[in-house]
Amino acid sequence: MQTIQSVNEMQSHAIGLRSSGRLIGLVPTMGCLHEGHLSLIDIAKERADKVIVSIFVNPTQFGPSEDFGRYPKSLEADLEKCAERGVDIVFNPSAAEMYPQGFSTYVNEEDVGAGLCGISRPSHFRGVTTVCLKLFNITRPDLAVFGQKDAQQCAVIQKMVTDLNIPAEVIIGETKRGDDGLAISSRNRYLTNTQNEEALSLSKTLLMAQKMVHEDGVRSVDRVVAEVTHHLSIARSLRVIYVQIVDRLTMEPASREIEPGKHMVCVAAWLDQTRLIDNIAL
């Protein structure tokens, strides 16, 4: 496995791979790799000849009061996991390499990213689209794999790829959960054991919403949102940021009726200083 830090080296290597007819699969990450990331790597391995994993904690997607400074890092362990999983190249640039002095161009998707997390994290998706477009230009992937846990991020990237005619296929890997149901996330490292227990109410409540729709035949958006909000607020230390039922592809809010297969319920909540998100198909 090769590790590359330089943008120029990565880009010329990727151009070489593509011109020799190799299919490139990219898995963009911010490191601190867990089972969720590893499952995305497995998807990329199945579909591509060469798998590139980028590890870069992207400063532009964090707001001024967010956790950029304390975002967990575990480069050595990440490299070991990548090597074990058969990754070909880890691209691990520095911030100065990605955003040299004078950098002033950003990409902004203006619709899909506007609601949900876009409201409480106003510059977040601009940072995500900017870094992803840069990663696409640097690593020239035929396909790029993202995780469904960040459903809105997936939808924003898919929209950018379509709108800007980027010649890469976006593949979405399913959310990986612990045995207890908690969606696996690098930020789970912030949680104490007690908080971990409380965080479980997110996945439990989502399952309850799915049951309401699929087993009890409930179709009312207001009723499901009200039940989910109520159940989340039983966990006293959770502060709900949003509960919303949206179209799974466009993130457009459902108005009155839930259409099974088309809609999903998305939640975000603070647990002390940790921001958690999760979603489930309805």
What is each CA distance from 239 to 62, 140, 163, in whole angstroms?
20, 40, 35
- Give the footprint of ligand PAF on residues 45-84 (CB under 6 A): 58, 61
Give the Cα separation of 118 and 116 in Å (integer): 5
Residue 279 interacts with ligand PAF (CB under 6 A): yes or no:
no
Inter-residue contact 156 to 128 (CB < 8 Å): yes
Residues 6+ apart with CB under 8 A from 167: 142
Q: In this complex, which beta carbon is closest to ligand PAF, that of residue 29 or of residue 201?
A: 29
Give the Cα separation of 11 and 70 in Å (integer): 30
Among 4, 41, 52, 131, binds ligand PAF (CB under 6 A): 131
Q: In this complex, which beta carbon is closest to ligand PAF, that of residue 150 or of residue 198?
A: 150
Burial code of 47-70, b = ≥16 C-beta within 10 A, e = fewer?
A: ebebbbbbbbbbebbbeeeeeeee
Give the Cα separation of 130 and 62 in Å (integer): 13
Minimum distance from residue 15 beta carbon to ligand PAF (Å): 22
Residue 92 interacts with ligand PAF (CB under 6 A): yes or no:
no
State which H helix or E strand residue 79 sits in. helix 75-84
Q: In this complex, which beta carbon is closest to ligand PAF, that of residue 225 or of residue 277?
A: 277
Q: In this complex, which beta carbon is closest to ligand PAF, that of residue 95 or of residue 207?
A: 95
Residue 158 interacts with ligand PAF (CB under 6 A): yes or no:
no
Number of residues that bind ligand PAF (CB under 6 A): 10
Q: In this complex, which beta carbon is closest to ligand PAF, that of residue 172 or of residue 254?
A: 172
> 265 φ, ψ to 5°?
-105, 130
Residue 29 interacts with ligand PAF (CB under 6 A): yes or no:
yes
| 37 in active site | yes
Minimum distance from residue 58 beta carbon to ligand PAF (Å): 4
Beta-strand pair 143-147/274-281 = unpaired
Minimum distance from residue 147 beta carbon to ligand PAF (Å): 7
Minimum distance from residue 28 beta carbon to ligand PAF (Å): 4
Residue 150 interacts with ligand PAF (CB under 6 A): yes or no:
yes
Beta-strand pair 263-271/274-281 = antiparallel
Minimum distance from residue 124 beta carbon to ligand PAF (Å): 8
Q: Which one of the spans 28-36, 177-185, 215-223, 226-234 is the region binding ligand PAF (CB under 6 A)?
A: 28-36
Q: In this complex, which beta carbon is closest to ligand PAF, that of residue 128 or of residue 155?
A: 128
Give the Cα separation of 108 and 114 in Å (integer): 10
Residue 25 interacts with ligand PAF (CB under 6 A): yes or no:
no
Q: What is the DSSP code (8-state) at residue 49? A: S
Q: Which one of the spans 24-32, 68-76, 109-117, 220-228 is the region binding ligand PAF (CB under 6 A)?
A: 24-32
Burial code of 74-102, b = ≥16 C-beta within 10 A, e = fewer?
A: beeebbebbeebebbbbbbbeeeebbeee
Which of 34, 37, 124, 263 is labelled catalytic? 37
Inter-residue contact 85 to 38 (CB < 8 Å): yes
For binding to ligand PAF (CB under 6 A), which residues are involved?
28-30, 58, 61, 128, 131-132, 150, 153
Residues with catalytic function: 37
